[in-house]
Amino acid sequence: MVTGGSSGIGRAICEAFLAEGALVTFTGHRDQAEIEAIATEMGLGADGRRVDAGNSREMDRLLRDVRERHKRLDVLVANAGIGRHARLGTITEAQFDETIPTNLKGVLFATKSAVPLMDGEGSIIWIGSTGGDAPPPGMSVYSGAETALRTMMESISPALDPRPGRRPRARRHRLLPQAESVCRGRARPADAGCGRRR
């Protein structure tokens, strides 16, 4: 399962899994017809769904459906994310309310739903960014969510650790793609690539 798998890093992850023979379900924010077309482009084994990764009920239903259809869930890649470029005077509640559910809430509750479906073994992979370690100007909401994501993983990791005499419930990983350097300083958002969904 890969959230935000219809483009960018998420799509590359899907294609890498498919190349290894995995069955991959991915989510995206585009309309269902476009997502299905992307799945067709990816090839055999890809299944695309229009699901809001920030909506815990939608994600829970999808994860359970994947488990029911395939009899197992091996990997959750929580990749979906939104980054809107806005300096303090221009930040809106709408931007905040769009970013936090997808970048933070959705990751936590997708993980909560996925772990019990992994039958004692699996991988949880959260895609973060260096925006949480070195926040670029004008990305305060995004960077705040990324910082929270890191500390949230540190807090829940003990619950995913192997227990004596038992297989691990899940292996957890946090990947940090390098944020574009042009997101810093005076680069215009359109040039910087800031404000994209992943």
Q: Which residue has the tokens 């910082």?
A: 147
Q: CA-to-CA distance for 1 and 105, rounded, in angstroms?
A: 17
Angle CA 131–136–138, to nearest 5: 115
35 and 50 in contact (C-beta within 8 Å)?
yes
Catalytic residue among 26, 109, 126, 142: 142
Q: Is 142 among the residues known to form the active site?
A: yes
Distances (CA, A) of 79 to 7, 16, 188: 11, 14, 25
Q: CA-to-CA distance for 192 and 194, rounded, in angstroms?
A: 5
140 and 95 in contact (C-beta within 8 Å)?
no
Q: Which of 53, 67, 56 is nearest to 116 (CA)?
A: 67
Q: Which of 116, 97, 104, 95 is nearest to 160 (CA)?
A: 116
Catalytic residues: 142
